[in-house]
Amino acid sequence: MLALSALPTWAILTATSATLFYVWFRIAFRERLALTAKLPGPAVYPIIGSLYLIKDSLSEFFKFAIRESRRFPEKIGKIEWMHRVAVGLWNPDDVEVILGSSVHITKSMEYRFFQPWLGNGLLISNGDTWHTHRRLIAPTFHAHVLKQFIHLFNRNSRALCERLDATSGQTVDIHDYMSEATVETLLGRAQKQNGGYEYATAVMKMCEVLHVRMFRPWLWPDWLFNLTSMGRMQKKLLHTIHSLTHEVLEKRKSERKLGVREGLYKRITKDEDDEVNGGDAEAADASGTSNGYPTGLRDDLDDDIGEKKRVAFLDQMLDVSEDGNVLTEQEVEEQVNTIMFEGHDTTASLCSFFLSVMGVHRDIQERCAEEQRRIFGTSMRPATFEDTLEMKYLERCISETMRLYPPVPLIARHATENIQLKSGYVIPEGTSIVISQYLLHRDPETFPNPEEFNPDNFLPERCVGRHFYSFIPFSAGPRSCVGRKYAMLKVKIMLSWVLRKFVVRADIPEENFRLTGDIILKREDGHPVRLYPRDMARQEGLERSPECVIQCITEYSAGSAMQRLSVTLVLAATLAAVSASPLSSADRSLVPEFFSRDPAWDGLVADIAGRDPGAKRRCETISRN
């Protein structure tokens, strides 16, 4: 008693209040707590729950969570803190119960932190508001509407390549370039204008702020958060973001007043339209393509919308807001902010991971490049919609990139009622449900050798019979990403330009990627790559990967031991050229100067690249010499 009386009054009151709240909570929510107790998960302590696990940075917690998931073979696990419970799911059967439902569509409470940024936009709205906005927006991303964007995708992809050309051979963070390019494409303007890079940087920092806030309960109250340095930073970042959105809207309103009623991006001549669409924009059909979505799984983006509803997103938003009966001006800005965020950072992440992986898997990169050559030859002409339908291998590589590195690694929902899962567990009402695409996509029961980058995972015959909810890079069900077809079309065209123009090299293998589970999946070390223009790469022997070189020379080599020795010397010189690094002094003594200087060397490189029908004969001639 003496020790207790020595405590300050406020400390006694605080401890008493906390104890009473804890007792009340245990009694009032005993049914929920009983269901929660049956769910697998780490040890839980009063008040702090499982928060003791977050000992290091949030990126380390992401890695920890991935490692811990292996302890739960039923692919479900919980984390508790204070009065909150989050249940992670990565079993496709259980995921289908949540995402496939028209009832379980309420976003988790953590999404409220997006509200100062996105308002009540499509990403975070719920109930009737979400249904109304989804019906308005979905038709603006139909395939027939997206065709009018193709000229813009081509124009900005060309501008991107011009910027990258200036970096030839230098190590750059490709995410910086991809991020700015995707912003400018969304803005419907050429690159090199002010605002795009500032916007992209502000979005990246906003995601970091939101991610940190979600894991720090003392920052949850808005009034307290706004007093912190992080709150003041958010205010500045939102000013940058919202200023650019406002600029886009005001510009489009001015154009409409002047009678420019076409879609935001369809301001091209008939000749340009014919060049992009092959003269018949309606001739191409997207059937047979996955668009990064499970084949056979349909949603509102697949519905026939009719000719009259083929209006681009921004014009549709302004049309329904003009009389104020459907959307207010504020709601229009919220939807534009949402589409700008979802259409920019996710696409930049996907393209950056793709090029980082291609820089490591050079044989796969060359198969992509060969496919582009079959479609375009040596031309750098704009891609047409029909061209994108021929990019089958590129699409498989994009899908495999999204499998291993889903741009949005987590989806969160709020359980408005008790939910019976197919695994037998029951998720209690009030629980946050976290669906991990990262774990779902690396399930060895669905994808053999799940850590290996293998585009053949998406061969049609391998996709047959695969669970629809085992691959969901754009989510799935009623709340699937409304812009997925836009994203896939844009990504295909951007990467087509880059692969036709450059050879990509990267030195960091996938197993050394330092991933962080932010709002958007990222690499802590950035995305360092080197790009070499293909005409220069062809001259220096960089165009073909070591794997391709080995295969080609193996096919050409036959006969005596002397011939095989000569081929080995050729191979040593070839690999040195491919890696753009000099031979060691020991190896150099074995390789005649002929291989690095003689014109016949350029001929051999051409042979290896498959451009000379006399390849075998010339290789044998060099071997004899």
φ, ψ dihedrals at 381, nearest 5°: -70, 160
Written as one string, the DSSP assignment of 176-188 is HHHHHHHHHHHHT
Reported as half-sphere exposure (CB side, CA atoms, 13 A), residue 403 has a value of 27
**Alpha carbons 511 and 505: distance in angstroms, whole number:** 16
What amino acid is encoded at 561 in this protein?
A: A
φ, ψ dihedrals at 520, nearest 5°: -115, 140
27, 69, 519 from 407: Cα distances, Å: 41, 20, 9
Is there a contact between 528 and 359 (Cβ–Cβ < 8 Å)?
no
Residue 548, marked binder: no
In this structure, are strands 528-533 and 502-505 parallel, antiparallel, or unpaired?
antiparallel
**Alpha carbons 413 and 282: distance in angstroms, whole number:** 38
Residue 177 makes CB contacts below 8 A (sequence gap 6+) with 160, 163, 164
Rg (CA), the chain: 28
Is there a contact between 436 and 409 (Cβ–Cβ < 8 Å)?
yes
- CB-count burial class (<10 Å; 0-12, 13-18, 19+) for 512: exposed
**Alpha carbons 433 and 421: distance in angstroms, whole number:** 12
234, 520, 557, 577, 624 from 618: Cα distances, Å: 65, 51, 11, 19, 10
Alpha helices by DSSP H, 424-560: 437-440, 460-463, 484-501, 534-540, 546-556
Q: Which residues pair with 107 in a beta bridge?
A: 413
Q: Which residues pair with 78 in a beta bridge?
A: 87
Q: Taking the C-alpha atoms of 285, 286, 289 and 294 in order, what is their torsion angle to the nearest 10 degrees?
A: -130
In this structure, are strands 426-427 and 515-517 parallel, antiparallel, or unpaired?
unpaired
**List of long-range contacts for 533-536, beta carbons under 8 Å, 24+ apart:** 533/165, 533/168, 533/501, 533/502, 533/503, 534/369, 534/500, 534/501, 534/502, 534/503, 536/168
SS3 of 112-126: the string is: HHHHHHHCCCCCCCC
Which DSSP category does 303 fall into? Answer: S
**Alpha carbons 341 and 118: distance in angstroms, whole number:** 9
SS3 of 403-438: the string is: HHCCCCCEEEEECCCCEECCCCCEECCCCEEEEEHH
**Alpha carbons 38 and 570: distance in angstroms, whole number:** 65
Q: What is residue 588's three-state secondary structure?
A: helix
**Alpha carbons 335 and 421: distance in angstroms, whole number:** 33
The annotation places the binding site for heme at 481
The annotation places the binding site at 481
